[in-house]
Amino acid sequence: MEAFFFYLFASLAVATALAVVFPPMRGARAPIHSAIALVACFFCVAATYAMLQAHLLAVLQVLVYAGAIMVLFIFVIMLLNLQTDETARTEVGFVKVLSGLLVLATTAGVIGFLRNDDVLLPISKQLVAQVAHPETYGSIEEIGKLMLSEYLFAFELTSILLLASIVGAVVIAKRDPRSTFMPEALKQQLYRERHGKSASGRKGGA
């Protein structure tokens, strides 16, 4: 039963992942198909997490990736209103074929390696040993405790990373104070009309 669902979701995950890279439709609508395929892929991955007793991880995968990040992706794609030529595919060259072959070779190597019982068995034994206490394993309490004990520093450091990312995002998105964008220029013009001087220092008014 479990094996059936595992293979079902695993193969679906691979199929949808391929659909991300090779969307079924070409042209301007390809990006949104890719994004939707990616959402589906996240679901399949979440399902495999759930089967590994990692319920919290599964829920967070859906909540964060499928529910928040991909929504923004689709939002941006909708706003961009891509034209066909912008999404036109480039021709397949020698390097691409070579890298594709390399990927296939690596995959084959990994599969061949995993088929080897000597290698796989010790690992799966280890995993079974860890799932021996399914009551708490992967629960929100256990993960919370781990985050505040063993991984405390990494957990706190993540907040610094987020802070830096927010500052960075604000910088990238912020309107240049001296640009000639209309609202800003308008504001300064209005300011000058009222006060007879420039609003923003020496170089104000663009």
Contact residues: other proteins, CB under 8 A: 29, 32, 36, 39, 55-56, 59-60, 62-63, 66-68, 71-72, 74-75, 78-79, 109-110, 113, 119, 123, 126, 139-140, 145, 148-154, 157-158, 160-161, 163-165, 167-168, 170-172, 174, 176-179, 199-204
C-beta closer to other proteins: residue 11 or 198? 198
Shortest distance (Å) from residue 11 CB to other proteins: 21
C-beta closer to other proteins: residue 89 or 149? 149
DSSP 52: T
78, 28 contact by CB (below 8 A): no
Structure tokens of 39?
């959402």
Spacing of C-alpha 171 from chain mean position: 21
Shortest distance (Å) from residue 91 CB to other proteins: 20
Cα distances from 106 to residues 14, 17, 19, 96, 181, in angstroms, run 16, 17, 20, 15, 50
SS3 137: coil
Spacing of C-alpha 156 from chain mean position: 21
Shortest distance (Å) from residue 149 CB to other proteins: 5
C-beta closer to other proteins: residue 97 or 146? 146
Structure tokens of 78?
């909708």
Shortest distance (Å) from residue 115 CB to other proteins: 12
